[in-house]
Amino acid sequence: MKLRLIKALWGMEGTYEEQLARAAAAGYYGIEAPLPSLSREQSFREALERHNLAFIAQVSTQGDHLASFEEQVERATSFKPLFINSQSARDSMTEAEQDRFYEAALAIERRAGIAVGHETHRSRPMFTPWTTARLLKQFPELRITADFSHWVNVCESHLENHEEELALAMERTIHIHGRVGFPEGPQVPHPAAPEYKAELVLFTKWWKQILDRQAKKGNAFATFTAEFGPPCYMPTVPFTNKPVADLWEVNQWMTDYISANYVEWFKD
């Protein structure tokens, strides 16, 4: 199973041409980003083709969440992405409302003929291990993008009492968002910092378990996006709004770290 490393455009500056050129030069297989605005769509498509980069399309539902999902999925398919990452629905929905959304979303996904990973994200129904487990049990076809940094933050713990829910989530994961969180926040200042070694070791264990499952299923490839974000995800120095670390360097460190470990884990 090959590892395809993806560059998140979140927090990057410059034109699409400048951002994608930098990602390509750094050796990334593809990029992950929201759909471009209509006014920038052509330049985005041209940059993707010019730099021979794959695309993971990000969608985020708002308002009428089902109509929003359907509209964005339809547009996303025109880019021929590897798959779609969706921040779907709302945590404030009742369970019945959530069920109606995901049942219809799965039908839309089948019609579109493209895989969707619903992200385990705060403010969405999958914001905790147990709410996610309920949905995964209710809908066997439902798949996720695993971003466990949100769960660690929401549960204010290292998820010690959620092994069963974690195992189910790992089994249904199609994509990893590689950000290390801690009990008091969704993003450590830098994953290499020794004061967050326990969190790095924990997240590394989880990611390996996901990748092991994907390899055993016979998947041809796995995808990993280092997704540390800019301020205010990135902590800042008081009174200056200056980020405490360089965003590109943080994500590159995370990418290099998982790549080196992957070689060791899956060597012949």
- Quick one: average pLDDT of 173-199? 98
Residue 268 has pLDDT above 70, yes or no: no
Q: Which residues contact 119 (CB under 8 A, 6 or more apart)?
A: 85, 86, 87, 88, 126, 144, 145, 147, 177
The answer to whether the CB of 116 falls within 8 A of the CB of 86 is: yes
pLDDT bucket at 54, cuts 50 / 70 / 90? very high
Using one digit for the tens of pLDDT, what is the confidence trace for 91-121? 999 999 999 999 999 999 999 999 999 999 9
Q: SS3 for 220?
A: coil
Specify the DSSP element, H or E, that contains 60.
strand 54-60
Given this model, what pLDDT does residue 267 score? 79
Instruction: Please tell me the total number of residues recorded for the chain in this structure.
Output: 268
- pTM of full prediction above 0.75: yes
User: Do the strands 236-237 and 54-60 form a parallel or antiparallel pair, or are they unpaired?
Assistant: unpaired
DSSP state of 147: -
d(CA 81, CA 44): 13
pLDDT bucket at 212, cuts 50 / 70 / 90? very high
* CATH number assigned to the domain covering 2-265: 3.20.20.150
Using one digit for the tens of pLDDT, what is the confidence trace for 9-50? 999 999 999 999 999 999 999 999 999 999 999 999 999 999
Mean pLDDT (the chain, rounded): 97
Using one digit for the tens of pLDDT, what is the confidence trace for 215-238? 999 999 999 999 999 999 999 999
| Cα 20–chain centre separation | 19
